[in-house]
Structure 1
Amino acid sequence: MREKLVIIGNGMAPGRMLEHLLEAAPDRYQITIFNAEPRVNYDRIMLSPVLSGEKTFEEIVIHGDGWYVERDIMLYKGHRIVAIDRAAKTVTSEHGETVAYDKLVIATGSVPFIIPVPGSDLPGVITYRDLDDVDAMLLAAQSREKAVVIGGGLLGLEAAAGLKARGMDVTVLHVMPTLMERQLDAAAGYLLQKAVEARGIEVLTKANTKAILGEGRVEGVELADGTIIPATLVVMAVGIRPNVAVAKEAGLEVGRGIVTDEKMVTSDPDILSVGECAEVGGNVYGLVAPLYEMARTAAATLSGSQDKRFVHSDTPTKLKVTGIDLYSVGDFADGEDREEIVLRDASCGIYKRVILKENRVIGTVLFGETSDGAWFNDLKKKQTDVSEMRDTLIFGQAFQGGGNADPLAAVAALADDAEICGCNGVCKGKIVSTVTSKGLTSLDDVRAHTKASASCGTCTGLVEQLMRLSLGDSYNPAAVQPMCSCTDLGHDDVRRLIKAKGLKTIPAVMQELEWKTSCGCAKCRPALNYYLVADWPDEYADDYQSRFVNERVHANIQKDGTYSVVPRMWGGMTSSKELRAIADVVDKFAIPAVKVTGGQRIDMLGIRKEDLPAVWADLGEAGFVSGQAYAKGLRTVKTCVGSDWCRFGTQDSTGLGIRIEKFMWGSWTPAKVKMGVSGCPRNCAEATCKDVGVICVDSGFEIHFAGAAGLDIKGTEILGSVKTEDEALEVIVALTQMYREQGRYLERIYKWAKRIGTEEIRRQVLDDFDRRKAYFDRFVFSQKFAQVDPWSERVSGKDKHEFQPMAALSLQQAAE
């Protein structure tokens, strides 16, 4: 009989605790979670990129619905716990749901502090703690009016940067003389203010808020000196307090937070607490690294281990605002018993300060150049005597031992227990050993297996240096390679900035991202055109001049300058009428060669360019649309005859293949996409070497992906199994949309999957029902604007719907 574990709260700390617990004791507990928010577990520290537009909510979900279902965890969403009965060992939610527990974990997080000034309860005054707050800010940002952020700490500055990115006029009010005074010294605070103001955000320090003004809703903020600042939105970001109400009412010991021992056990031995609500060793925490340490400790306690104890350590501070690099850790206050080493480079905006006590590092502040942060923190943790490197210490690790400035040498010199990822507590040794033992080759592989750089991402550079150190020249990620000579940006950065800055034309992209050429080149223009089509399907007009010639003329150019035309045959099926029409076109235009392709279609080769419009007009009259044999998009869905004809067929593979092809054709993708549907495991449609494949089995449909049969030969990965055709279609469409949104231009699915990780794709597309539906819906939405029938204006008397993908039509039209 499994013990009953109830968890109050579903934030990052309890989510990480569950991961560790299920790894250590997967069958010990029957788990129930009550979450006050009406959603699954997500990465709160990435809310700022969601606000700025650099990420979507789906991208920051940690555990989707499928994760809980697969692990038999009961998740109550939108259920706030209002009572804990310690005698009966039950908890009760505001909706009247009562559940018994053997062990209880309280992870109620924190509540934002609201300045008690007149007008603080007006509509338009919001805090910044969860997704609901972000949604409210995004709604307000649509007005493009005036926002005031009260608080110049981490959250306040991230909120200000996000709102500015969304087009609002933003002012930050901070009561202290410099920004982030708890994490930065005055010099770094001054540089930070300059960097924030350079982004068009007004900053007022020594600004004491007297009142929030407005009749019925926010209209402005009045300062103590009488200054009035107009505003339609006010964001309070002045601090948080542990949410201890339900624990206090239950009679647990409460100080600043819910008091626990070093094993995260409260004053009740059957109740633990983790996260921002917990107080351990007299401290409460708001940064993710100590919360994850709490999670590891609580998981060990619940699994029966007696060894794990929570140990306090200083956590580095980093700001998640693109283009602003700062790092601080430890004690950097002035004092007679300490000395400081300072480096300033005014022209480059660099400031470095290391504080020493008895020749040991006790604090570090870095601004503008932060790559040595992990090294300084390691020196601090180990209390290393730095007297022998005193003269070169401020220049960083690369300059120790003879002035070697090779960053890889510096990383190589780090001890194996040096912490690389502060958020997740991952050391150098774990990363290197995992890369070596598991044969990892991409940053996403490392994130999936170690979680290093999977949270805030500021340690990404260090992780990549470790990969270069481990893999040598074989590690050469495309992400750090420029798209072309026209820009220094890689594909991922360009795509991220297109979304973050709301860029919707090629000239806008080139201007805002500082292209080095006036009009781009043959490498970057097609890529930019694809990214804009994919990201703004309803607003961007596809620029055919930025497509390759094959895509412009809907035919493949041959070595002699003639073209080949491939009409689409849905799922490889045809009829005598279609065959006669093809024969008539071959005769009429004296086409010299006709070939059956590997994709079960007919290719007409040797057509002169000037004949292409007339050829397509005749084919269109016969009901053909382009087979898109030239496309960076869906080309074919190869099928076998399936259960209709074959004595081994288990499902209607031909019907499913036709349904997929009609639903998805015309969908531009980063590179060509070929699919296959086989009616049984004998696999006559060769589905296991396709970009996406389906193997029909007695119980339903096995979905495969990431195969290759060209220059590279690779069998598919199994994504998972579903029971119905509808589920199969939804999964395949969602998978394709995820690839469309994340793939780099000309990157095939198998290369994208290797970069992202099979497990991550499976998690998003198969396990997370909400995210799968969101991908599916975005695909359908984009298909409404697909430009796939350029010759249909020549087809008199025909309904244009005949030339559109089913996904672009209403359900009634598709059924007809």
Structure 2
Amino acid sequence: MGEHRQQAGADPGIVVVGSGPAGLRLVQELYALHPLARVTLFGGEPWEPYDRVALSLFLAGEVAAGDIFCPPRVPDAAPFCAHYNLPIVAIDRPARRVRDAAGAWHAYDRLVLSVGSRPHVPGIPGVDLPGVYTFRDMNDAQRLMARTARSHRTLVLGGGLLGLEAARALQRAGTDVTVVDHGPRLLGRQLDAAASERVSTHLRRLGIGVVLGDGAAQVLGAERCEGLRLRSGRELPADTLVLATGIRPNTALALDAGLAVRDGIVVNDALQTSDPDIYAIGECAEHGGRVYGIVAPALEQAAVVAHRLCDQPAAYHGSTLATRLKVVGCAVFSVGRAAEDDLQPGDRKVVYRDDAAGVYRSLVISGGRLVGAVGFGPWDDWQRVQEAASRRARCWPWQQRRFARCGTVWPGTHEQDITAWPAAATVCACKGISRGALSRAVAAGCADAPALSRATGAGTVCGSCQPLLAQFYGHTLARQPVAGARWLAGGSLLAALVLVVLALTPGWSYPDTFDLELRWDRLWRSGELKQLTGFSLLGLAVLGLVLSLRKRFERLRLGSFGAWRVVHVMLGLLALLVLGLHTGFRVGSNLNAWLMVDFLALAALGSVAGLVTAFEHRAGPGRGKALRSRFTWLHIVLFWPLPVLLGFHVLKTYYF
């Protein structure tokens, strides 16, 4: 199946075993360097090459099967041959040939093994029952799609990237889903504790259950899966169990051929195995004692081997891991040393939080250099942060202070200048597309961002790099307003108008006659009413303090950030009304004057901060965040004297 363009009688050329992302990228890189290279590609699956990164989107029904297939793009005249559904089963190294599953032998000059990995299946009782699935390739995805039509309750064992993507995809298919992980937090190898906690909270809000710190002991059921018993003894009912418990490199072919194997096929910096004419790349390869289980290092390795096969200098010195999760409905980022277990002595974290916008970011600094980063929520310049961490770029003290203040390392005016990025910087992490590759495609004639996306594949998976593609053509995609922006703008504007009216008019005075139908002065003459309005104002101040604390501390998590922000504005409006009832907006003197000025200045800065936040999307990313941060902190600074002044005011009133 899928055999084409073979020329008989020619030199053996290069044989690539494995049609996954690494093998496919190798073929394309080879033909970019040498359009007449003789290459034969073998794939063991009954499909043309497909985008494995998009499998979770396919399972969720967000993309069609035809949209994820990506056959090799090679020159029309290239001596290229592809065999799919025909795995290689043996290597004859002395004769420099390989044997396929049909028994035919194929000669090679140089051989590249890109045979990938297989799912790790934990050795627990009942794991072989019907209803237990893995999620690794197109076959798995199709089996799970067929299963979701009859499944009502699904457990996903494993809280890593693949497990969370599977959980969200299956939930969208209409089944109840719970994620189980033996570790204390989700994405424990990628995220720090604060970001992981936010992911867990987000999943629970989506209706996905999360069970942490409890491993699997047994799959329940006699004839098919009926649930899972945990090590604690707790039993979780389910009719479907999905195993997302890691991978194991496919090493049998190399082992039978006498190549050096440990966890994976051992390779050097040239990605050669113990046989210099045989290379290994991707999830089957072990470099520097490490097997990489994600696609980006595999693509880097493919580029290195392509250069080596074309007799061009290149070396692989390892990869800085960068991961991105978007299928669960939120943007989660990680690069380099990010999780607590990866931190080394001397590492220091710089943290930025904006709970109102649902944003958490942290940088890991070592010796003044950026070595890791974590993000939860939108992050406009993430690709640039990823590139900087990958090359351990210098992060100066003023950049760290800027980051802690407004969440960006670089000034807003330069934040999105993608054409100034290094050519090797990754723009599309899902496909491993560099800035240099995109620039070459632009120079080759891609007329706009959609054409650039079609030609390179960038932006076709999660779509988050589409704004960066637009910048190659001088365009900037519109930024979205924060949640509840209209309510926020309306409430803040109303508060500002009230303050303007008060500034232009004197306070309410005591009436000079008792001959009134409505005695509004009772509000200030009656002790009971005075206490009622005064303690109401005090209560509103306490609520404002609670809101402030809720934004600053990790464990005070109630409701959505957007809703609490609107509540905060409405609380300020109500406080202004109660202040008028209590004082008639008369400034007074001494302590009363200080209290009134502080309260009105607090309200004024709050209204400005609200307006800036509501219209932040219309400013540049860095400028908008900096303005919001500045006015918000001024608002907080003026708030903290308020409890002290109120306390002295109450003491003065009751003592004297």
Class of the TM-score when normalised by the shorter of the 2 chains: 0.5 to 0.7
Residue by residue over 1:107-138, the C-alpha shift from the partner in whole angstroms, topping out at 9 and shown as x without a partner, is 11001111100001111111111001001110
Structure 2 counterpart of 1:49, one-letter code: L
Partner residue of 1:258?
Answer: 265
1:423: how far off? 4.6
Determine the C-alpha separation between the residues in 2 that align with 1:372 and 1:142: 40
Determine the C-alpha separation between the residues in 2 that align with 1:376 and 1:342: 14
Structure 2 counterpart of 1:471, one-letter code: G
TM-score by length of 2: 0.66
Confirm or deny that 1:34 pairs with 2:42. Answer: yes
2:156/2:179 contact within 8 Å kept:
yes
Partner residue of 1:750?
Answer: none
Secondary structure of residue in 1 paired with 2:184:
coil
1:68/1:74 contact within 8 Å kept:
no
Confirm or deny that 1:175 pairs with 2:182. Answer: yes
1:76: how far off? 2.9
Confirm or deny that 1:394 pairs with 2:404. Answer: yes
Structure 1 counterpart of 2:235, one-letter code: I
Confirm or deny that 1:58 pairs with 2:54. Answer: no
1:457: how far off? 3.8
1:68: how far off? 10
Correspondence for 2:193 among 181, 186, 191: 186
Determine the C-alpha separation between the residues in 2 that align with 1:77 and 1:428: 32
Correspondence for 1:349 among 339, 351, 358: 358
Confirm or deny that 1:471 pairs with 2:474. Answer: yes
Determine the C-alpha separation between the residues in 2 that align with 1:412 and 1:77: 39
Change (3 A) 1:218 1:262: same
Correspondence for 2:452 among 446, 464, 485: 446
Structure 1 counterpart of 2:379, one-letter code: T
- Summarize the alignment of residues 179-258 of structure 1 with structure 2, pairs less than 5 Å apart: 179-258=186-265
1:33: how far off? 2.7
1:256: how far off? 1.8
* CA RMSD in angstroms, aligned pairs only: 2.8
Correspondence for 1:278 among 275, 279, 285: 285
Secondary structure of residue in 1 paired with 2:82:
strand
Change (3 A) 1:96 1:431: closer
Change (3 A) 1:432 1:76: closer
Aligned length: 468
> Which shows bigger deviation, 73-82 or 278-287?
73-82
Structure 2 counterpart of 1:384, one-letter code: R
- Summarize the alignment of residues 262-341 of structure 1 with structure 2, pairs less than 5 Å apart: 262-305=269-312, 307-332=313-338, 333=340, 334=343, 336-341=345-350
Residue by residue over 1:344-377, the C-alpha shift from the partner in whole angstroms, topping out at 9 and shown as x without a partner, is 2333321111121222222111101222322323
Partner residue of 2:375?
Answer: 366
Determine the C-alpha separation between the residues in 2 that align with 1:417 and 1:272: 23
Partner residue of 1:573?
Answer: none
Determine the C-alpha separation between the residues in 1 that align with 2:406 and 2:440: 25
Determine the C-alpha separation between the residues in 1 that align with 2:468 and 2:183: 34
Structure 2 counterpart of 1:301, one-letter code: R
Structure 2 counterpart of 1:328, one-letter code: S
Determine the C-alpha separation between the residues in 2 that align with 1:70 and 1:159: 41
Secondary structure of residue in 2 paired with 1:161:
helix
Determine the C-alpha separation between the residues in 1 that align with 2:217 and 2:126: 10
Determine the C-alpha separation between the residues in 2 that align with 1:417 and 1:34: 29
Determine the C-alpha separation between the residues in 1 that align with 2:409 and 2:79: 53
Change (3 A) 1:216 1:258: same
Query: Taking every aligned residue pair, what percent have the same amino acid on both sides?
Result: 34
1:36: how far off? 1.6
Determine the C-alpha separation between the residues in 2 that align with 1:395 and 1:372: 16
Residue by residue over 1:624-671, the C-alpha shift from the partner in whole angstroms, topping out at 9 and shown as x without a partner, is xxxxxxxxxxxxxxxxxxxxxxxxxxxxxxxxxxxxxxxxxxxxxxxx
Correspondence for 2:51 among 43, 47, 71: 43
Correspondence for 2:28 among 19, 41, 47: 19
Partner residue of 2:619?
Answer: none
1:323: how far off? 2.0
2:160/2:186 contact within 8 Å kept:
yes
Determine the C-alpha separation between the residues in 2 that align with 1:89 and 1:178: 48
- Summarize the alignment of residues 73-88 of structure 1 with structure 2, pairs less than 5 Å apart: 73-88=80-95
Change (3 A) 1:351 1:259: same
1:48/1:162 contact within 8 Å kept:
yes
Q: Structure 2: state its 5+ residue gaps.
A: 1-9, 482-656
Structure 1 counterpart of 2:208, one-letter code: I
Residue by residue over 1:30-54, the C-alpha shift from the partner in whole angstroms, topping out at 9 and shown as x without a partner, is x333322111111111101000001
1:372/1:397 contact within 8 Å kept:
no
Greater relative CO, 1 or 2 (CA 8 Å, sep 6+): 2
Partner residue of 1:158?
Answer: 165
Change (3 A) 1:272 1:456: farther
1:23: how far off? 2.5
Change (3 A) 1:73 1:433: closer
Residue by residue over 1:655-703, the C-alpha shift from the partner in whole angstroms, topping out at 9 and shown as x without a partner, is xxxxxxxxxxxxxxxxxxxxxxxxxxxxxxxxxxxxxxxxxxxxxxxxx
Residue by residue over 1:275-300, the C-alpha shift from the partner in whole angstroms, topping out at 9 and shown as x without a partner, is 11012233221222211111111112
